[in-house]
Amino acid sequence: MENFKRKHDYEGLLVVIEGTDGSGKSTQLELLKRYMQDMSYGVMVSEWKTSRLIAKVIDEAKERNLLNASTYSLLYAADFADRLENQIIPALNAGFIVLLDRYYYTALARDVVRGQDIEWVKNLYEFAPEPDLVFYLDMPVDILLKRIIGTTGLDFYESGRDVGFSTDFYKSFEIYQNRCLEEYNRMKSEYGFISIDGTKSIEEIHNEMKHHVQEILDTGILD
**Which residue would you say has higher pLDDT here, 203 or 144?**
203
Please report how many Cα atoms fall inside a 13 Å half-sphere around the Cα of residue 36, on the Cβ side.
30
The reported pLDDT for the residue numbered 211 is 96
**Which ranges in the chain belong to alpha helices (H)?**
25-38, 55-63, 69-83, 89-93, 104-113, 118-124, 141-150, 169-191, 202-217
pLDDT tens, position by position, 22-56: 889 999 999 999 999 999 999 999 999 999 999 99
Please report how many Cα atoms fall inside a 13 Å half-sphere around the Cα of residue 10, on the Cβ side.
21
pLDDT tens, position by position, 116-152: 999 999 999 999 999 999 999 999 888 887 887 766 6
Please report how many Cα atoms fall inside a 13 Å half-sphere around the Cα of residue 42, on the Cβ side.
13
pTM of the model: 0.92
Q: What angle do CA 202, 26, 32 make, to 5 degrees?
A: 65
Give the single-character DSSP code of 7: S
pLDDT tens, position by position, 158-188: 777 777 778 887 888 888 889 999 999 999 9
The reported pLDDT for the residue numbered 21 is 81
Q: Which fold has domain 13-217?
A: Rossmann fold (3.40.50)
